[in-house]
């Protein structure tokens, strides 16, 4: 199995996974590891190995490419994720989605809570569900609590697209895929998305495909 022996101790499993070098294989939907809650990190992996694993997650995220990657996505059921977004998007997309650059971060044992009642809906994809995207309504702002890779506390409010990223990656650690939260009528192949739904917001898709967006008139 690409992720090594899943029954082995975490440190041994990670050593096996890192042995070939280079980007790690990404686990696809259907693998049970993506549907189990990840184990909180409490020192099961010594600092040098943790640093190597974090670097491998970073390399894999960049190679995919993606803006976030959770440990279960490479077959390791440990509550760790990495995020980074250079946000190379047009200005109209930046304004509509609140997508601003985010530095590389390591999130250990993250948890989030909504800040306010506002929700935002946009097309969203996942490296573990390649070739497809769907509209997901998420909290527009969240407070994220976590540790970084050095054990220092993280307590920060995220808004816009960064809020979406941290919700997506934290969900992975709870065994939740974005499809669980998606408007199923919006599900589109990558090709269809590029052909029909490349607008900064999904109103046109909602009208054509027959799904509701947050705050839309139910009539």
The per-residue pLDDT string of the chain (219 residues; one tens digit each, 9 = 90 and over) reads 234 455 568 999 999 999 999 999 999 999 999 999 999 999 999 999 999 999 999 999 999 999 999 999 999 999 999 999 999 999 999 999 999 999 999 999 999 999 999 999 999 999 999 999 999 999 999 999 999 999 999 999 999 999 999 999 999 999 999 999 999 999 999 999 999 999 999 999 999 999 999 876 555
Q: Is this prediction's pTM over 0.75?
A: yes
Give the side-chain half-sphere CA count within 13 A for 208.
11
Catalytic residue among 84, 124, 149, 169: 169
Instruction: Give yes or no for a contact between 75 and 27, defined as CB atoms under 8 angstroms apart.
Output: yes
Q: How is the chain split into domains, by residue range? A: 10-209
Q: Is 139 annotated as a binding residue?
A: no
CATH 3.40.50.970 for the 10-209 domain, yes or no:
no
Full 3-state SS string of the chain: CCCCCCCCCHHHHHHHHHCCCCCCCCCCCCCHHHHCCCECCCCCCCHHHHHHHHHHHHHHHHHCCCCEEEHHHHCCCECEEEEEECCCCCHHHHHHHCCCCEEEEEEEEEEEEECCCCEEEEEEECCCCCCEEEEEEEECEEEEEEECCCCCEEEEEEEHHHHHHHHHHHHHHCCCCHHHHECHHHCEEHHHHHHHCCCCCCHHHHHHHCCCCCCCCCC
Instruction: Give yes or no for a contact between 144 and 107, defined as CB atoms under 8 angstroms apart.
Output: yes
The yes-or-no answer on residue 191 being catalytic is no
Q: What is the pLDDT of residue 195?
A: 98
Q: What is the pLDDT of residue 217?
A: 59
Q: Is 126 annotated as a binding residue?
A: yes
């Amino acid at each position: 199995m690409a992720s090594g022996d899943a029954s082995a101790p975490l440190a041994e499993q990670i050593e096996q996974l890192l042995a070939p070098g280079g980007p790690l294989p990404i686990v696809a939907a259907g693998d049970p590891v993506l549907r189990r809650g990840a184990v909180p990190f409490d020192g099961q992996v010594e600092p040098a190995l943790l640093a190597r694993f974090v670097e491998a997650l970073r390399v894999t995220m960049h190679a995919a490419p993606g803006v976030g990657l959770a440990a279960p996505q490479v077959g390791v059921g440990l509550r760790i994720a990495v995020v980074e977004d250079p946000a190379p998007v047009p200005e109209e997309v930046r304004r509509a989605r609140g997508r601003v650059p985010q530095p590389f971060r390591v999130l250990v044992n993250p948890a989030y809570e909504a800040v306010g009642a506002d929700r935002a809906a946009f097309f969203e994809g996942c490296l573990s569900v390649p070739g497809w995207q769907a509209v997901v309504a998420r909290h527009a702002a969240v407070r994220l609590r976590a540790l970084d890779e050095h054990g220092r506390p993280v307590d920060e409010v995220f808004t816009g697209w960064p809020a979406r990223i941290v919700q997506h990656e934290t969900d992975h650690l709870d065994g939740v895929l974005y499809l669980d939260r998606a408007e199923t009528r919006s599900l589109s192949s990558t090709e269809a998305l590029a052909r029909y739904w490349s607008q900064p917001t999904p109103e046109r898709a909602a009208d054509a495909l027959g799904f509701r967006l947050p705050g839309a008139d139910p009539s």
